[in-house]
Structure 1
Amino acid sequence: MQEQQERIIKINIEEEMKTAYIDYSMSVIVSRALPDVRDGLKPVHRRVLYGMSNELSLYSDKPYKKSARIVGEVLGKFHPHGDSSVYDAMVRMAQEWSLRYPLVDGQGNFGSIDGDSPAAMRYTEARMKKITDEVMADIEKETVDFTLNFDDTIYEPTVLPTKIPLLLLNGSSGIAVGMATNMPPHNLSDTIDAVNAYIDNPDIEISELIEKIKAPDFPTGGIIYGYEGVREAYETGRGRVVIRSKTDIEHTASGRECIVVTEIPYQVNKAEMIQKIAGMINDKKIEGISYINDESDRNGMRIVIILKHDAVASVVLNTLFKYTQLQSTFSVNNIALVDGRPRSLNLKELVKYFVRHRHDVIVRRTKYDLRKAEERAHILEGLLIAQDNIDEVIRIIRAAKNADEAKTNLIARFQFSDLQAQAIVDMRLRALTGLEHEKLQQEYDELRKMIAHYNELLGSESMQMQLIKDELVEMKERYGDKRRSEIVLTAEEFNPEDFYADEDVVITISHLGYIKRTPLTEYRTQSRGGVGSKGSATRD
C-alpha cells in the first residue's frame, strides 16, 4: 500500500486539463486537419500518394491495384488510424466533382454527386493520375526532408516536391480544434499565370494577381454571382463566394415553360437538393411549379423543373435561388500550415510560399544531380586512364592473389582512388574494345558539360527562377484547361452604362417633347422599290 501511494503523483487538475487539451489541439492542427502551404496536402493524402508511388509504384502508366492493397500499405507503414479514414481520403481524391484536378485514377464505383457511397475497397482499384506523377517528381533526388514513421522503422516525406501549386488548384477543407480551413479550387492555367507574374515581380500587388487568377474555379462549374466576396477573400484570406446553378429556360412539347439546371453549386448533394425542392413544392412554400424531374445521365447533369401555365419563369427561378441550394455560398477561410504553424493567408502569400518551396526543391535537386554527375565522372576518369594503360593494368590484376591485392597495387601504381580501383577490378572484358573507349570518352565529355551547367545554375538565382517558370509553363501546356465556373456581376456591382453599346446614334425630338434614340446603323440607303427606313413613328 505504501509503495502504491508513492507512485501516485498529485497534480492540479486545471493545469493538467489545460496542457492535455493544448497538446491534443496542436496534434490535430499540425498532423491531421490542416494542409501544408507548400504541397497543399494533409498528412493522410500525402501518405496515400507516397504509398502509391514509392511503395507500390502505381504510376499512371502502371496497371491498377486493389484499393484494399493500397489502404493496407498506407495503414501498416505510415498512418496508424482507421482504414475508413484512409479509404475515404483516397476516394475523394478520385472524385471529379470533389477535386478540380483529381489525383487518383479510380476504377470501379467511387460514389456519385448524389451522395451514393463508393463500393467497398475490396471491389475498387486505383492508381495515380498523370498529373500526380508531377506531384511526386524528383522525390528520390533528396528534394524534401524525410522523417521516421509512427514506429520508427521507415522514413516518410514531410512534404512532397510538387511541380504544381496544389493548394490553390484543389483547395482544402478541414476542421481542427479552435480553427477551420475552407479553401476554394482554382484553374490551373490562371494559377500558373499568377505564379509566373509573381516570379517576374515579387512586389506585385494583389489587385494585379487577381487580374490573372480572376476567381475560384469549381469542379462542378456553376456561376460565381457577385465579385465583392471573391476580392475580399483574395485580399484578406476570408470572404464569401456566392455560387449559383447554371440554368436555361426551355419550352416543353405542350408549350409550357420549364427551367433546366445543368450545373449545381460546389459541394451540393444533387439528390438531397431535388428532394428538398419537391418537399417545398408539396408544402406550397414555392408556387408555380407543377413537378421536378432528374434527367441526368452519363452525358451530364439535367434537372428539369416544369412550371404551371400562369407562372413566370424568372420569378420562380429567383424564389428557388433564395430558398434552395440552387444558390449556395462558399465561405473562404485560407488557413494553412506555414513552417508547422497555422496562419491565415491572402492570395499573394499562398503564391509566395509555393514559389519558395519550389525554389528549395530545384536547388536541392540540382545539388543531387551535380553530386551524382561528379561521382560518375570520377569513375570514368579512372576507366579512361586504365584503358590507356591496359597492358600494365592486366599485368597487375593477373599478378595479384585476390581482388583486394589487385586494388592495392593499382592504387600504388596509378594513384587511383578506392572507387576508381574497384570500378577497374569490376570492369568486363568487353570494355577493352575500341568502341567502348569511344563510348566512355563521349559519356565523360557529356558529364563535364552537365557539371558546368549545374554549377552555373547553383550560382545564379535568376536562372533558378527561370527554371521554375519554364517548368510551370510546361505544366500549363500539359494539363491546362478552360474555366468551368463563369463570373457574373450582381445588380449592385453593375454600372448602368455597361448595358448600352458605345455607338453613334441619332436623337429625334418631336414638337410635343417626345425623344427617341436610333442607332445610326439603322439608317440605311433606300433600295429600289423600298418603303423607306423608319426614323420615328410616334409623333410629328
Structure 2
Amino acid sequence: MARRKRPQSEDLFDVEEKILEVDAVQEMEGAFLEYAYSVIYSRALPDARDGLKPVQRRILYGMHELGLRPDRPHVKCSRVVGEVMGKYHPHGDTAIYDAMVRMAQPFTMRLPLVDGHGNFGSLDDGPAASRYTEARMAPAALLMTGSLDESTVDFVPNYDDQLFQPDVLPAAYPNLLVNGATGIAVGMATNMPPHNLVEVIGAARYLIAHPEADLEALMRFVPGPDLPLGGRIVGLDGIREAYETGRGSFKTRATARIENVTPRKKGIVVTDLPYLVGPEKVIEKVKQLAQSKKLQGISDIIDLTDRTKGLHLVIEIKTGFNPEAVLEQLYKLTPMEESFGINNVALVEGQPRTLGLRDLLGVYVDFRTDVVRRRTEHRLGKKKDRLHIVEGRLLAILDIDEVIQLIRSSDDAAEAKTRLMQVFDLSERQADDILAIPLRQLTKFSRIELESERDELQREIEALEAILADPQLLLKVVSDELAAVAAEHGTPRRTVLLESDGTGASSSAAGPTTGGKASGMDLEVADDPCWVLLSSTGLLARTASTDDEPLGTGGRRAKHDVITSSVRTTTRGHVGLLTTAGRVVSLSVVELPSLPPSADAPNLSGGAPLSAFVDLPPGEQVLGLCSLTGEGPGLALGTKHGVVKRVNPDYPAHRDSFEVISLKDGDSVVGAMELATGEEELVFITSDAQLLRFSSSLVRSQGRSGGGIAGIKLGAGAVVVGFAAVDTSAENVVVTVAGTSGSLPGTQTGSVKVTDLWAYPTKGRATGGVRCHRLLRGEDALVLGWAGAAPPRAASGNGVAVELPETNDKRDGSGMPAAAPIAAVG
C-alpha cells in the first residue's frame, strides 16, 4: 500500500490522521496510463490527416506566425526553438531542435519542410547547435500551413490556455505518405517510408474519381516507396502486404557496379546506400569484417564522396577474387543491404490505427475535402459581407445630396446613423460604413468602380455557392488543387523497384577464382539467347524467353509499361543504345535485371532505369536498341531536319560508344532502328501533319562518318516528329497525336488517330509526302508520330496505359480526344 500526504497548508501536527491509503498497483497503473496517453497522443504518433507529430506541427505553426516564409531571410534556429517551446510545446529544447533538423534533412525527408542554412548534419554526423544554424520555411511548408486564416481547421488552447494553436494543419498534399514517419510510443510504434509526391497525388486523385477503387488500381500509381537518396528496393511482396494490411517489410539495397579502378584491378563502386545508412557505417563494418577474416577479397575501401558527384565509395578487389562474389558478401554481411519494416500506425479521429494504402489515402481525401469546404464557406461569408457594404455605398452615392443633407442636419453621429438606417433602409454596418467614407470616394468614377466590384462579387458568390451545393464540384476543386501541387513540386522517382535482386546465386564464401569460378560458387552465367527490352519510361531488362519475339509483343501487353524497343541477343553479349545525338552506347546484357519467363507479358517494373547504366549529357535521350554483332543490313536513322541514313554494321570493337551519323548544327535523331531484311519501308511523319513512305532500297548504305541524305522535303517551320522502318509483310498502322506547337510529348492530351499504313501511298525519297492528320481548332501541329506493327499500345509519362481509338479509314481525318496525355507508343 502507498500513502499519500495531505497538502502542507493543513495542520502539520495532525499529518498521520490525514494520510490517505491507496493501492500501489492502482496508483502505478493510473500513472502509467497517463504517461502512455501523453506519449501516444502528444508526442510519438503522427496524425493521419496532415502526417505530423505535435512537435512538427507546432514548429511549422510557430515559423508561420514568425513570418519565416521562403522569400524572407533565415533566422537563428534557437529563436524558433524558443518561440515554439515558450508558446506551444512544453518540452525540452533538444526535442524541438531534433525534430526541426529532421524536417530540414533532404536525405531523411522526401519533401523537406524546413529550409536549413548551416550544418544540419549528415547520415554519419549530427547537426551543429541551434545557435549556429539558421532556418526558414521551405516551399512545401507553405502548402501545409496555407489557408490557416480561413477557418479551415479547428484551433485548440495551448498548454497554459494563454494562446491557441491549430489542432491539425490544412495540408495541401498527403504529407504522411510523401515524407513518412517514425516514432516509438508506449506499446506501439510507427515506421512509414517516404513516397513520391506525384505518384501519391495521382493515386489520391484516382480515388477521388473512383471511390470504389481497389488496391490494385491504386498501386498502378504508387508501386512502392521512393526514398530520398534513391537506391534500390529488392522484392515487392512485402510492400504489397503493407499496402494491404498496414504491416510489411522490404529490403533496400545499395546501388553498386563493378568497373576497372586501375588497368589491372577491378573494384566495386557504390553510388547509393540504403535509406538512412551513411558511408562511415559501411566503411567501419567492411574494415571490421576484413580484419576478422569474415570478408575476403577486399584490398582497400576509399570514400570519394563530394558535393559534385555525391556518394562515391570505391571498394578495391584483390587480384584473383571474383568481384560478383565479393559484392554478394557485402550485401549479406554489411549495411549495404538493410530491411525496412513498415508499420503504418497513425492517429485517426484521436485513435491509433494501423492503415493500408487505401485507408491512408481515404483519410486524407476526406480531410482535404472538409478543408476545402470550410475554406469555401469562409470565403463565401467574406464575399457576402463585402457585397453588403458595396450595396450600401451604391445606395448612398445615388442619393448623395440627400445623404449629406441628412448628416449635416443631425446633431451627432448616433442620430445620423439612426436616420440613415430609417430613411434608406440600411443595416447598422452599412450606415457605419457610409459615415466613414472619405469625400474623395464620392465621385462618378467611384460609382463605376463600386458597380464593377458588385458584379464581380456576385459572380464569385455564385461560383462559391455552386461548389458548396454540388459535392462532385467540390471534389473536382480538391483534385485540381492536388494536380497543381504535383505539377509545381513534383520530382521524378529516385528509387528503383526490383521484383527480385537480379543477381546470381549467393555463396557462403568469396574465394580466389579459378577458371571463372569462385570456390563453392559458380559465377558463370550461361550465354543463353534472350531479349533486351526498353520501355517508354526508360526501364531496361532482359528476358529468359527464347521465342522468336519478346514477351510483351505480338498482341501481349506489358503489365507496367509500353515496350518501345527490343533486340534479340545472348546473356553475355552486348547491345547498343541509340541516342538522339547519333551515338551508339554499348551496354553489357548480363548487368541488366532478368525477368523470368512467363506466358503473360513481363512486369517491366522489375527493370532498371537507363540512368543506372549510362550517364548521358543534358538533352541527349535514348531512342531504341540495336545489336552489335555486325551482321545484317544495319541501321536506319531519321533526323529532325528530314535526313535519312542507312548505316553499315561495321561497328568498332571494344568501344563504349561511337557515332553512327554526322549531324549538322541544330539537328538530332528522332528515330533509329535496326533493319531485319533491308527491304523495309521507311516512314517520316512531320509536325505539319505530312507522312512520307518509301522503300529503304532507295537509300544507299554509308559508313559511320557519313551525314546521310535527304529523306523528306519539309515545309516552312516543320520538323520530323516520327520516323520508323516497317516490315511490309506485317499489318502496320500509323498513330498520330495532335496538339499545340512547342509542347512536349506527354504534356497535353490533344487528339489521337490510328490509321492503317496502306492508306498512305508510297512516294519517292526527298518528296513532301501526303497529309496524315486534319488538325482541329486549337491544334497547330503534330506532337508525336509513330508507325509500326499492329496492335499499337500507348502510355502516359509515368507508364500508365492509355487507350487508343479504333482504326480510322480516312488517312487525313481528324483525331479523337485522347483519354490522357500520350508520351510514347510501342
Whether TM-score is above 0.5 comes out as yes
Q: Distance in 1 between matches of 2:130 and 2:283?
A: 29
Residue of structure 2 equivalent to 1:195: 204
Q: Measure the CA separation in 1 of the matches of 2:317 and 2:330.
A: 12
Aligned to 1:289: 298
What residue in structure 1 maps to residue 471 of structure 2?
Answer: 461
Cross-structure match for 2:256: 247
Q: Distance in 2 between matches of 1:73 and 1:353?
A: 31
Q: Contact 1:411–1:418 at 8 Å: present in 2 too?
A: yes
Shift of 1:431: 0.9
Which structure 2 residues correspond to residues 51-450 of structure 1 after superposition, within 5 A? 51-53=62-64, 55-114=65-124, 116-299=125-308, 300-450=310-460
Specify the SS of the correspondent of 1:385.
helix
Change (3 A) 1:8 1:361: same
Contact kept, 8 Å, 2:145 with 2:171, in 1: the verdict is yes
Q: Select 2:45's aligned residue among 25, 34, 45.
A: 34
Q: CA deviation at 1:405?
A: 2.1
Equivalent in the alignment of 1:509:
none
The 2-side partners of 1:107 and 1:401 are apart by 63
Q: Evaluate the alpha carbon distance shift between residue 428 and residue 76 of structure 1 in structure 2; reply closer, same or farther with a 3 A threshold.
A: same
- Name the counterpart of 1:500: 545
- Compute the displacement of 1:501 (Å): 6.6
Distance 1:525 1:437 in 2: 80
1:508 corresponds to:
none
Cα offset, 1:399, TM superposition? 2.0
More displaced stretch, 166-175 vs 433-442: 433-442
Aligned mates of 2:108, 2:432 — CA distance in 1: 55
Secondary structure, aligned partner of 2:170? coil
Q: Which has the higher contact order (CA 8 A, sep 6+)?
A: 1
Query: SS of the residue aligned with 1:445?
Result: helix
CA drift of 1:23 comes to: 1.6
Instruction: Report what 1:48 is aligned to.
Output: 59
Measured in 2, the distance between the counterparts of 1:271 and 1:376 equals: 62
Q: Is the 8 A contact 1:182 1:333 kept in 2?
A: yes
Show the 5 A alignment for 1:16-31.
16-31=27-42
Greater share of helix: 1
SS at 2:256's partner residue? Answer: strand
Q: 1:384 to 1:9 in 2, by over 3 A?
A: same
Q: 1:490 aligned to 496, 500, 517, which one?
A: 500
Indicate whether 1:452 and 2:497 are aligned.
no
Identity of aligned residues (%): 44
- 2:141 aligned partner, one-letter code: T
Give 4+ residue runs of structure 1 displaced > 4 Å after superposition. Answer: 491-494, 521-526
Change (3 A) 1:29 1:304: same
Q: Distance in 2 between matches of 1:175 and 1:502?
A: 53
Residue 161 of structure 1: CA displacement? 0.2
Q: What letter matches 1:87 in structure 2?
A: Y
Q: Relative to structure 1, is the Cα distance of residues 518 and 79 closer, same or farther in structure 2, using a 3 angstrom cutoff?
A: closer
Q: Which residue identity lines up with residue 362 of structure 2 in the other structure?
A: K
Q: Distance in 1 between matches of 2:114 and 2:545?
A: 48
Per the TM alignment, residue 202 of structure 1 is displaced from its structure 2 partner at its CA by 1.3
Partner of 2:618: none
Change (3 A) 1:314 1:212: same
1:373 aligned counterpart, secondary structure: helix
For residues 400-443 of structure 1, what are the alpha-carbon distances to aligned partners after superposition, in whole Å with 9 as ceiling and x for unaligned?
Answer: 23322221221121121110000000001111111111111111
TM alignment of 1:466-477, pairs within 5 A: 466-477=476-487
- 1:443 is matched by which residue type in structure 2? E
Instruction: Name the SS for the 2:289 alignment partner.
Output: helix
Instruction: After TM superposition, give the deviation of residue 3 of structure 1 in Å.
Output: 3.6
Structure 1 position 518, deviation (Å): 9.2
**Structure 2: tracts of 5 or more residues without a match:** 1-11, 505-529, 531-541, 551-567, 571-626, 635-648, 650-826
Cα pair 1:226 1:493 within 8 Å, conserved = no
Contact 2:196–2:226 (8 Å) recurs in 1: yes
Distance between the aligned counterparts of 1:493 and 1:466, measured in 2?
Answer: 46
Instruction: Note if contact 1:94-1:110 (Cα within 8 Å) is conserved in structure 2.
Output: yes
Tell me the TM-score normalized by structure 1.
0.91
Distance 1:524 1:74 in 2: 72
Q: Give 1:4 deviation, angstroms.
A: 2.1
Equivalent residues, number:
512
- Mapped contact 2:107–2:229 kept (Cα < 8 A): yes
The offset of 1:6, in angstroms, is 4.4
> Which range moves more in the overlay, 467-476 or 252-261?
252-261
Q: Distance in 2 between matches of 1:406 and 1:474?
A: 51
Deviation, 1:498, is 3.6
Letter aligned with residue 338 of structure 2:
S
Whichever residue aligns with residue 331 of structure 1, its letter is G
The two structures have a TM-score, normalised by structure 2, of: 0.60
Equivalent position SS for 2:492: coil
Give the Cα separation in 1 of the matches to 2:28 and 2:127: 40
Is the CA contact (8 Å cut-off) linking 1:246 and 1:263 kept in structure 2? yes
How far has the Cα of 1:303 moved from its partner? 0.5
Deviation by residue 1:208-255 (Cα, 9 ceiling, x = unmatched) = 111110000101211001111111111111111100000011112242
Distance 1:275 1:409, change over 3 A: same
Aligned residue identity for 1:436? S
Q: Offset at 1:485?
A: 0.6
Counterpart-to-counterpart distance in 1, 2:394 and 2:502: 78
CA distance in 1, matches of 2:14, 2:152: 54
TM-superposed deviation, 1:504: 5.0
Say whether the 8 Å CA contact 2:410–2:416 is kept in structure 1: yes
**Distance in 2 of aligned mates of 1:42 and 1:237:** 19
User: Structure 1 regions of 5+ residues with no counterpart?
Assistant: 506-516, 531-540
Deviations 1:11-51 (A, max 9, x none): 11111211221121111101100000000000000000000
